[in-house]
């Protein structure tokens, strides 16, 4: 853990509170005082992102479920790109999904901000890789 962990900002976007709980527990166990915000739907996350005035306040990581009602993860990614929410490419998006369909994994590669497609359930070992912790 480093002093920069204190400033690590994470958004978790998932319609399942159990997944939020697990993600928060694992992230808090690996990073020192990260700032974690959870969203049950993509619309609230987009609203939060577009209201951030300073690029330094953007999240460092977004863990995004793709299968959600109303606005799914693909819709989120389309709006994220269209609105140029992160023109400097600071945010690393990780799709976190129970989908095992190859076409979902392939589709995720079409979005430059998406770093990886992670199959649920999220594990501490996988988060260590994401946060580059040995």
**Six token digits for residue 30:** 């690996």
Residues ≥6 apart with Cβ < 8 Å to 74: 66, 107
| pLDDT at residue 132 in the model | 92
User: H or E stretch including 9?
Assistant: strand 9-13
In angstroms, rounded to a whole number, what is the distance separating the alpha carbons of residues 32 and 126? 17
| pLDDT at residue 134 in the model | 81
In angstroms, rounded to a whole number, what is the distance separating the alpha carbons of residues 43 and 46? 5
66-84 pLDDT, tens per residue? 999 999 999 999 999 999 9
Q: Which CATH class is domain 3-130?
A: alpha beta
**Six token digits for residue 101:** 């369909």
Q: Go through 111-134 and write b for each residue having 16 or more CB atoms within 10 A of its CB, e for each that does not.
A: bebbbebbeeebeeebbeebbeee
pTM greater than 0.85 (yes/no): yes
**Six token digits for residue 92:** 């690393």
* Average of per-residue pLDDT across 20-29: 96
Q: What are the sequence ranges of the domains in the chain?
A: 3-130
Average pLDDT, the chain: 93
């Amino acid at each position: 853990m480093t002093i920069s962990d204190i400033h690590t900002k994470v958004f978790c976007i998932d319609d399942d509170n159990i997944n939020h709980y697990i993600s928060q527990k694992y992230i808090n166990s690996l990073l020192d005082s990260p700032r974690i915000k959870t969203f049950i739907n993509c619309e609230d996350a987009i609203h939060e992102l577009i209201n951030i005035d300073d690029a330094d306040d953007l999240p460092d990581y977004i863990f995004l479920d793709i299968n959600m009602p109303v606005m799914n993860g693909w819709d989120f990614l389309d709006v994220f790109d269209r609105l140029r929410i992160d023109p400097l490419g600071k945010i690393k998006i990780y799709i976190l999904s129970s989908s095992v369909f190859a076409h979902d994994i392939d589709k995720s590669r079409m979005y430059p901000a998406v770093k990886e497609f992670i199959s649920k359930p999220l594990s501490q070992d996988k988060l260590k890789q994401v946060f580059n912790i040995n």
